[in-house]
Amino acid sequence: MTFLLAAACGLIAANVYYAQPLAGPISAALGLSPQATGLIVTLTQIGYGAGLLLIVPLGDLIENRRLTLIMLGVATLGLLGAALSPHALPFLIAALFIGLGSVAVQVLVPYAAHMAPEASRGRVVGNVMSGLMLGIMLARPVSSFIAELSSWHAVFFLSAGAMIVLALVLSHALPRRMPTSKLRYGELLASMGHLAVTTPILQRRALYHACLFGAFSLFWTTTPLLLAGPEFHLSQGRIALFALAGVAGAVAAPIAGRIADRGWSRPATAVAMLAVAGAFLMTHIAPEGSMLALGLLVAAAILLDFGVSANLTLGQRAIFSLSAEFRSRLNGLYMATFFVGGAVGSAAGGWAYAQGGWTLASWVGFAFPVVAVVYFATE
For residue range 278-290, what is the model confidence (pLDDT) as tens digits? 999 999 998 887 8
For 341-357, how does the pLDDT look when each residue is reduced to its tens digit (9 = 90+)? Answer: 888 888 788 888 888 98
| Three-class DSSP category at 178 | coil
Q: Give the pLDDT score at 229.
A: 82
Cα→Cα distances 265→109, 180, 271, 311, 325, Å: 19, 29, 10, 9, 23
Stronger pLDDT, 72 or 129, i.e. the higher one: 72
- Reported as a single tens digit per residue, the pLDDT across 41-97 is 778 888 998 898 899 888 888 899 999 999 999 999 999 999 999 988 999 999 999
Which helix (H) or strand (E) covers residue 206, if one does? helix 200-228
Cα radius of gyration rounded to whole Å, the chain = 20
Nearest CA-CA partner of 219 in 273, 170, 265, 283: 283
Read off the pLDDT of each residue in 134-145 and give the average, rounded to a whole number.
Answer: 85
Region of poorest pLDDT, from 84-93, 267-276, 334-343: 334-343
- How far is 81 from 93, CA to CA, in rounded Å? 8
pLDDT at 6: 92
Question: By three-state DSSP, how is residue 310 classified?
Answer: helix
Give the pLDDT score at 7.
Answer: 94
Of 209 and 179, the structure prediction assigns the larger pLDDT to: 209
- Give the number of other CB atoms < 10 A from CB of residue 260: 27
At 365, the pLDDT band (50, 70, 90 cuts) reads very high
Q: How confident is the model at residue 211 (pLDDT cuts 50, 70, 90)?
A: very high
Question: 38 pLDDT exceeds 70?
Answer: no
**Which residue ranges form the domains of the chain, and what is each CATH number?**
1-179 (1.20.1250.20), 194-379 (1.20.1250.20)
pTM of the full predicted structure? 0.82
